[in-house]
Structure 1
Amino acid sequence: MEQVRTAFRDECARLAKILPGLDAADLDRPTRCAPWTVRDLVAHVSSGAGRLVDMLAAPAPQRAEVDAAGYFGAAKFTPGVDAARIDSARRQARQRPGVPAVAADFARAWRATDEAVAAQPPGRLVRTRHGDAMTLTEFLRTRVVEVGVHGLDLAEALDREPWLTPTAADVVATLLTAGRSVPAGLGWDSLTLIRKTTGRLPHTERERRLVAESGFRWLSFG
């Protein structure tokens, strides 16, 4: 838990420093997560970062049924679920359109989650809005993925170098590879691994061949 919580805090604090420096034109930039603009994507990330507050206020399930890898299953990517996710972020973004409000909403969301997590006993279980019963640690791991990977999308949309923190990169990379070593010969650092395996960078022919020959299986988001 401490490793994952540190990664969540580090990555959220990094993004929280970026947002106040944006301007209105930045918020209107398109992102690779079409049809979202930067404004919409930040609203989505804010919602995801703050989701644990209500989950921890609800009764805990009796046992965990999925881990972080299982959470990112095909059911999260059905057309209906995707449409609801897209519309929710766009509605939230329209309600708080200015840079100060966007930055404040994100800061408030992630800090509320961090405080709520700190108050929980070891082994706390939660139930997600999709009905998944998970340990708190495993769900918080999915929040690191959300903030970290979408942080790459925001950096790209804003024409900035990726700001992914080392602690978050380690958590995300370990989840994507199930803790296994990447195939020999790829030579990827954690940032490259994350960008390649989540579709943020294309694979070269050589990379596809090495992965195929090794039989390596990445975590698939849907």
Structure 2
Amino acid sequence: MDGETVLAALRAESQRLYEKVCAIPEGEWDRPSPCDPWTVREVFAHLTNAVDRVGSMLAEPEPEPSGALVTAAGYYAPDERFSTDANEVRIETAQDSAGWYADGRALAEHFDSVWRSVTTACAKEPPERRVRTRHGDPMLLSDFLVTRVVEVCVHGFDVAVGLGHEPWPTDEAADVVARLLLGGRPYDASVPVPGGGWDRTTFLRKATGRLPMTAAERAAERLGLRRLTLG
């Protein structure tokens, strides 16, 4: 996926998410999210940190153009980055950072500032810009931004469900995540899916573990579904 398309998706999904949470009552932030053990506040803090990481990466020296680059799909490989220990650090970091803000509105406003700053900075970078993840992986910035769209979109599902709402993904972000899951192909609801037909949002939720799959539905992997290891 080209960088401009991915960046547009990150902008659209981040704007949608901010608009959905900026005015919710303070008590709603402490509802449990389906991303156990996080509350809505904590999962929102996690995705805010995930987007904010882009700014830190851009401030670091660009990796030398040597060796293979990790792709967006490769970023979600089932290795030590998603081990039990790594996930415990993710959980604790989000819980700690959720407490940095006076209230949920302050956290939402910080997220709004972060995504705007990050997307503005990324728009100035050349298509071949490389970055290094906190795990040491060299990646194209455009590929790393795909992972940030996944973070905002998929954890946006967790926020929505935690608040008792239907998920609200934008078309732009849903297409980016679907193409990642399908090896570059867009999701086509007219293609039969084992176990029943899904709209794109249902497909995304099932494919990312946000909704359960039946044994018949898991046969969808034969249609080329990529499994992502998500923290």
Q: Which TM-score tier does this pair reach, normalised by the shorter chain?
A: over 0.9
Does structure 2 conserve the Cα–Cα contact (< 8 Å) formed by 1:177 and 1:219?
A: no
| Corresponding residue number in structure 2 for 1:191 | 201
Q: Matched residues in 1 for 2:46 and 2:69: separation? A: 25
- 1:28-56 CA-partner distances (Å, limit 9, x unpaired): 00011111101111110111111111101
The answer to whether residue 226 in structure 2 is matched with residue 218 in structure 1 is yes
Return the offset for 1:109.
1.1
TM score, norm. by length of structure 2: 0.89
Deviation at 1:216, TM superposition (A): 3.8
Using a 3 Å threshold, how does the CA distance of structure 1 residues 16 and 217 change in structure 2: closer, same or farther? closer
1:65 partnered with 2:69: yes
Tell me, yes or no, if structure 1 residue 38 matches structure 2 residue 40: yes
SS of the aligned residue for 2:212 comes to coil
- Give the aligned residue type for 2:228: S
Q: CA RMSD in A?
A: 1.8
Cα distance in structure 2, aligned partners of 1:53 and 1:211: 37
The yes-or-no answer on 1:89 pairing with 2:97 is: no
Partner of 1:99: 104
Q: Pairwise mapping of residues 11-160 of structure 1 onto structure 2 (< 5 A)? A: 11-63=13-65, 65-74=69-78, 75-160=80-165
Unaligned stretches of 5+ residues in structure 1: none
Are the structure 2 counterparts of residues 124 and 79 from structure 1 closer, same or farther at C-alpha, using a change threshold of 3 Å? same
Question: 1:76, CA displacement in angstroms?
Answer: 2.0
* Amino acid in the other structure paired with 1:146: E
Judged with a 3 Å threshold, the aligned counterparts in structure 2 of structure 1 residues 97 and 83 are, in CA distance, closer, same or farther, namely farther
- CA distance in 2 between counterparts of 1:88 and 1:97 reads 17
**1:217, distance to aligned residue in structure 2 (A):** 4.3
Give the percent of matched residue pairs that are identical in Structure 1 and Structure 2. Answer: 44
Q: 1:97 to 1:174 in 2, by over 3 A?
A: same
- Matches of 2:11 and 2:132 in 1, distance apart? 22
> Which range is displaced more, 4-13 or 63-72?
63-72
How many angstroms does 1:24 deviate by?
A: 1.6
Indicate conservation of the 8 Å contact 1:19/1:102, yes or no. Answer: no
Displacement after TM superposition at 1:121 (Å)? 1.8
Q: Give the length in aligned residue pairs.
A: 220
Whether contact under 8 Å (1:20, 1:103) holds in the other structure is yes
Native 8 Å contact 1:27 1:37 kept in 2:
yes
Query: In the alignment, is the contact (CA less than 8 A) between 1:39 and 1:97 conserved in 2?
Result: no
Decide whether the 8 Å contact of 2:181 with 2:225 is kept in 1. no
Which whole-Å deviations, capped at 9, do the CAs of 1:6-31 have from their partners, x for residues lacking one?
10000000011112111121110001
What amino acid is the match of 1:220? L
Q: 1:173 aligns with which of 178, 181, 195?
A: 178
Name the SS of the counterpart of 1:51 in structure 2.
helix
